Every structure is written in C-alpha cells, then in structure tokens.
Amino acid sequence: MSRLAARFAQLRARGERALLPFLTAGDPSLEATPELVLAAAAAGADAIEIGVPFSDPIAEGPVIQRASERALRAGANLRRVLQLVAQLRPQIEAPLLLMGYANPFYAMGAEAFAAEAAEAGVDGVICPDLPPEEGADFYAALAERGVDGVLMAGPTTTPQRLAQLARQTRGFLYYVSLTGVTGARNRLAPGIEAGVRAARQSAAIPICVGFGVSTPEQAGEIGRYADGVVVGSALVSRIEEAANPGAAAESVARFVAALKAPLAAGDRAV
C-alpha cells in the first residue's frame, strides 16, 4: 500500500477528510521552503503538494504564476526540487506530491525522473498537461517504482472519460472544481458535488477537489461529499504577502489549521 493510500485509509477510519495544501518550491527561496512544508505538516496537512516551478504554467492563475517566477529567479528547478524532497522525507510523515508540467519531467526523461522521484521519497505526481494516453510511458514508469500518478478530471469531462480517469488514476482522482485556472474564488462553482458523485460511481478511489477553494467554510462544504480538499492560491498569496520567511511559516500554519478544522470533524453527505 502506498503512503497516499495508507493516509486516506487512516482518515476514512477516523471519519476525516484530507487537506492537501499546495506551495511552490523555491518561493520565496529554496532555503525557506522546508520550513513552510514542515509548518503545513505540523498544522494538520494530510498530504502536501509541492509545485515544480515552470515558465509557462498553463493551469495556474496569477498568484501561482508569480510564485513560479519568483522561484525560478531564486534558482529553483526540477533537480533541486527533488533534492528538497529528499531533505524533507526523513522529517515528515505526510505524503509528498509534486505538481508540475510535462516539459521538465520529459527533459529529465520519464524513466530517469521516475527513478529519482522514488529515491527522493516522492509519493505522487500530478501533471495537468499530460493526459494518460500521451503520458502512458511516464505514468507506467512512476507505477513501476511505486509513485502514484494522479490524474485530473473536471466539469467538462464526459461521463465515459470520467469513468476511465477514475479507474486509471492512482492515489486519488483530482477533481478540478471549475472551468478555468487556479485562483481564490469568493464562492464555489456549481455542480461540484454532482461531478464528485459521478466519479465515485466509476471506481472506489478517493476524490479530492481543488482549484478555487479559498476558505475553511468552502473546504468544509466540499468535505461533506469529497475525500479531500486541495488549497493552493489562497495559501500561496499568504506566503507572497508575508514580511519574511518566518512570518510566512506562521501564516501558513494558521491557515492550514483553520482549513483542516472543518475537515477533521464535519458532517458528511451520504
């Protein structure tokens, strides 16, 4: 059983839903990132998505785009992100996932990346611009080394495609809550619950909802019917606004704790 599968099983047994915060590796610096990841874990994160900075992050809104730009200027790249995960792995029990784009992964080589990711202690990889057909070699290389390749679905995914993705994904299915890029929203998009329920009919896999989730109240609402919630831009913006890395870590810890609270003991729809 993978570390991700074990974590979801533990949460299910406790009646909890997962919180998966996202932050960009190298923002504000590679040296500051471990403190932010550890702060998130200590505050209640059940798994942590670490963004691999990229020059053209097509799924990201302005907040995470700026974070990628800052990280790239600070010298972050895929190899250094893998080194960062290897540094963190002995210090943290929570699953660690990389979220990044196909170009850097394939520049390293699918087999080489999968081997290095597994050695570093990466538990899962999310690649928004790599569907399973085009990335068959990539996802197979990850699976061979015990790294979960997490696939994404969303509101425009057809029922047939949704069933296929739910069967093929590993770790969990990432359900994108809206048609658009990442970014904090004042209200949740309509139809999320119906989409999650449709995916659940296709395969017995945890389903986590991301994109646009910005507040503890929104996280709690999604937690009624989904297995987990991903929060990115609303967290990254707090890092951007912090006066220094220490203040950023404190802000991350407070926000993660607030987001986790309704997921730890909330009502769940049947």
Mean of the per-residue pLDDT values of the chain: 91
pLDDT at 180: 46
User: At 119, is the pLDDT very low, low, confident or very high (cuts 50, 70, 90)?
Assistant: very high
Q: What's the whole-model pTM score?
A: 0.92
pLDDT in tens, 139-196: 999 999 999 999 999 888 998 999 999 999 999 999 997 654 454 456 666 678 888 8
Q: Which CA distances in Å does 80 have to 4, 120, 150, 262?
A: 23, 11, 22, 35
Taking only the tens place, the pLDDT of each residue in 74-99 is: 999 999 999 999 999 999 999 999 99
DSSP string, 36-47: HHHHHHHTT-SS
With b meaning 16 or more CB within 10 Å and e meaning fewer, what string describes 16-31?
A: bbbbbbbbbbbbbebe
Amino acid 57: pLDDT: 65
Cβ contacts of 196 within 8 Å, gap of 6 or more: 175, 207, 209, 225, 226
Contact (Cβ atoms closer than 8 angstroms) between residue 34 and residue 87: yes
